[in-house]
Structure 1
Amino acid sequence: MSRILIVGAGQSGLQLALGLQRAGHEVTVMSARTSEEIRGGRVMSTQCMFGQALDTERRIGADLWAESGHRIDGLGVSVAGPESQRVIDWLGRLDQYAQSIDQRVKMAAWLELFEAEGGAVVINAATVSDLDQLAPLYDLTLVAAGKGEITALFDRDPARSPYDTPQRALALAYVHGMTRRPEHPDTDAVRFNIVPGVAELINIPSYTVSGNCDILFWEAIPGGPLDVFDQYAGDPKAVLGAILDALRTYLPWEYERCANVELTDAGATLVGRYAPQVRHAVAELPSGGHVLGMADVTVANDPITGQGSNNAARCADTYLQAILEHGDRPFDREFMQNTADAYWNRVAVCTAWTNAMLAPPPPHVLEILGAAGQFQPIADRFANGFSNPEDYTTWLLDPQLAADYIAQVAAQR
């Protein structure tokens, strides 16, 4: 069996580490923080894992929250009109439940599980120099740390990266006390609220260090009226206040649910922005060796479609299968590139869909959103595309296919 080094203790790195460990490989994980530091730190992101991504965790026995009772069964869309009224509002039903487990909870637990089962954990924020020295000691080195100096090893792929500046200003808060939507009081659902030309507000029922909660997540268009959050970045209460002020102004139906909200903990807010981009997945070290990037290191989409953690799971699943099928042959540059290509083929549609959502929606997408409010099968199919984005290529991303599908559903009514 092979000796493998994984740098980074996030969704993709730890999922792959657990899968390889349970297949008999000797795996070392390098993490910048201990499990205690992860659990006690600031939130790292939003996340909602949909059915197919959760299946990749189940296959390696890493679905530790299957019996937690935290399940998301729907996904809904609302669109605000010029008077802050709902002009579109519907809920799609998910075929498989989704889950949002705070990455502080999940990654701390996975890191402890990996170590308890005999995995080697090294606490070190790896540099390029570290990798240059360590990589020759392993049969394969993977980089799953999406931040820090080592990401500079991976060059931007301009052919796959249409944006070179941030397309949204991001602000989020994890809160207790948010009430359920009165339209579906018995269904936990992700809610996408679109304020055309201004921002999107995504509400995600979640589970955090202090129990069940909700995530309030604004994606504001840079330079627009809601591009105001950066000034509050160092003050969690001020971040929450700005988020609620924006709800009061643009989405009063969501603000009504927030009368008694409070932050879940001192690290429950995050403010920032980054340019979505795709990078070349194979990088050369100064000494001439090669390392293979994973997940956000190579495909960093905007979180507007909620695919980041799902793509990370897809990446871990793709790489695990490739490594197991490769056997005892050397993990050379050709293997790395072929594996990266297999991952890209799996998530290219996610990048196309996400980038399309960052632009003003074309007429056929507006027609789909409107039709979903009239026809439940359209709402359900849209919702389940978050688990299986490949389905969008057969209708959502093509104007004629979309029109044909709407007409077909309408004729069956």
Structure 2
Amino acid sequence: MRKILVVGAGQSGLQIALGLQSHGYEVTLMSNRTADEIRSGRVMSTQCMFHTALQHERDLQLNFWESQAPKIQGLGVSVAAPGSHDPGPTQRAIDWVAKLDGHAQSVDQRVKMAGWMETFAQRGGQLVIHGAAVGDLDYFSRTYDLVLVAAGKGELVSMFGRDAARSPYSEPQRALAVAYVHGLGPRPEHPEFDAVRCNLVPGVGELFVMPTYTVSGRADILFWEGIPGGPLDVFNGVKDPAEHLSLTLELMEKFTPWEYARATKVELTDAGGTLAGRYAPTVRNPIGRLPSGGLVLGVADVVVANDPITGQGSNSASKCAASYLASILERGEQPFDEEWMRGTFERYWQTAQHVTKWTNAMLAPPPEHVLNLIGAAGQLQPVADRFANGFDNPADFENFFFEPEKASEYLGSVAGA
């Protein structure tokens, strides 16, 4: 029986650990917090998982909250009209909603990670509550066939050098601010189904609104992404959750009044329901070298960290876990050597590269052909639907999004159909 150590109990670490466990591997999972500490702590992220990622969870029978979490059936895009937020009320230059082919869902990671950790332990997994340093891994690496590092923050990440060729940005491109709330009203134009709402305010940033399932049941996430140094970049140093929420709402009233109109009665889900921060999108070398010469393999956002502007973090983590699991199972009894590690990462990169390219493009001011596409989606429903379903399959953006010629050819084919 092969022994594998997984460091980090997030979406990818837990999904891999539970997957390996179901195939009879002897798995040890290291987490710096207990399940109870995670459940009662601060929110860790926003997450909206689309069909493919959800299917990876279903395949491992880990979709414990599928019946409780809201079924997100649509994705809407609104673009604020230029200059309209100063001084008068903001109008929308673009506003449309598309249907997803397979529903999406969001489960607060406090609920999911705590639940999955308890499941892992109940199924006989070795759970070690301990923050891991490089020295710890040096010691452990001698007793395990493979060490996977899935803890995306802290000292361990520094073992994996930045891949400059795949990382165009060296600084954070957005300041992030999240609030989980109860009491948000429906969008009046489509009250009959749940949708993620992407509100773009050119030159300022983005507001995402997504239905979720949290520790206290059904809720919504209000998520601002502000261009650094701009009017949304005001959450740094705000410690008080109530102040964080009132700032969130103040900015909604100013920049996205159509969303603010349904948020006048909201309150935070709990004292841990806010989060703020920023990080530079980075692709790293997948292999970490320990002082003793041992090798460890980085997982998910340890090696490919994208800005959350395209909502891909938990989706990529799930896809990475599924890809790595397949590579480990196929390896059988052969050694998990450097060549295998590099091949395992490159196999995942075949999927991840599309996410990185699209996300980095969305962080830059949109070129004219992209604005045309998003605008055309308001008149041509197939365009809206294709754009929305790209969140599940970002590889499709290669076919119509990045190059002006492909975009106009695609729009021409839809308009003429």
The TM-score normalised by the length of structure 2 is 0.98
Distance 1:198 1:20 in 2: 44
Distance 2:39 2:288 in 1: 31
Indicate yes or no: 2:327 matched with 1:316: no
Q: 1:78 is matched by which residue type in structure 2?
A: S
Counterpart residue number, 1:147:
153
Which residue in 2 is equivalent to 1:68? Answer: 68
Unpaired runs of at least 5, structure 2: 85-89
1:23 aligned residue: 23
Task: Note the alpha carbon deviations across 1:365-406, whole angstroms, 9 max, x for none.
Answer: 100110000011111111111001111111112211111111
Letter in 1 for 2:39: R
For 1:399 and 1:291, the matched residues in 2 are separated by 42
Tell me which amino acid in the other structure corresponds to 1:42. R
Conserved in 1, the CA contact under 8 Å of 2:68 and 2:213?
A: no
In the alignment, structure 1 residue 218 sits paired with structure 2 residue 224 = yes
Compute the displacement of 1:68 (Å): 2.0
Aligned partners of 2:331, 2:175: CA distance in 1, in Å? 42
Aligned residue in 2 for 1:95 = 101
1:152-163 mapped onto 2 (5 Å cutoff): 152-163=158-169
Whether 2:59 is the aligned partner of 1:59: answer yes
Matches within 5 A, 1:165-184: 165-184=171-190
Instruction: State how far apart, in whole Å, the 2-side matches of 1:344 and 1:69 are.
Output: 30
Which of 193, 204, 215 is residue 187 of structure 1 equivalent to? 193
Aligned to 2:87: none
1:344 aligns with 2:372: no
CA distance in 2, matches of 1:18, 1:183: 42
Q: Secondary structure at the match of 1:238?
A: helix
Deviations 1:255-287 (A, max 9, x none): 001110000000000011111111101010000
Question: C-alpha distance in 2, partners of 1:102/1:146?
Answer: 18
Q: Compute the RMSD of aligned alpha carbons.
A: 0.7
Q: Is 1:116 matched with 2:122?
A: yes
1:231 partner amino acid: G
Distance 1:25 1:227 in 2: 46
Of 199, 203, 211, the residue aligned with 1:205 is 211
CA positional deviation for 1:69: 5.1
- Secondary structure at the aligned position of 2:179 is classed as strand
Tell me what 1:364 maps to: 369
Residue 405 of structure 2 is aligned to residue 405 of structure 1: no
Which amino acid in 2 is paired with 1:103? Q
For residue 46 of structure 2, what is the aligned residue in structure 1?
46
Is 1:237 matched with 2:242?
yes
Shift of 1:67: 2.1
Cα distance between partner residues in 2 of 1:26 and 1:226: 47
Distance 1:347 1:128 in 2: 26
What is residue 330 of structure 1 aligned with on the other side? 335
Q: How many residue pairs end up in the alignment?
A: 411
Distance of 1:127 and 1:226 partners within structure 2: 35
Alignment-mate amino acid for residue 80 of structure 1: A
> What is the aligned partner in structure 1 of residue 287 from structure 2?
282
Name the CA distance, whole Å, in 1 between partners of 2:399 and 2:296: 35
2:394 corresponds to 1:378: no
Partner SS for 1:141: strand
SS in 1 for 2:141: helix
Contact 2:309 2:363 in 1 (8 A): yes
> How far is the alpha carbon of 1:223 from its aligned partner?
1.1
CA offset at residue 193 of structure 1?
0.2
2 CA distance for matches of 1:21 and 1:399? 47
Cα displacement (A) at 1:231 = 3.3
Q: Partners in 1 of 2:307 and 2:255 — Cα distance? A: 22
What CA deviation, in whole Å up to 9, does each residue of 1:284-340 have, x standing for no partner? 000000000000100000000000000000100000000000000111111111101
Measured in 2, the distance between the counterparts of 1:306 and 1:340 equals: 21
Determine the C-alpha separation between the residues in 1 that align with 2:351 and 2:388. 19
- Cα shift readout 1:37-67 (whole Å, capped 9, x = no counterpart): 0000000010000001111111111111222
1:104 matched to 2:117: no
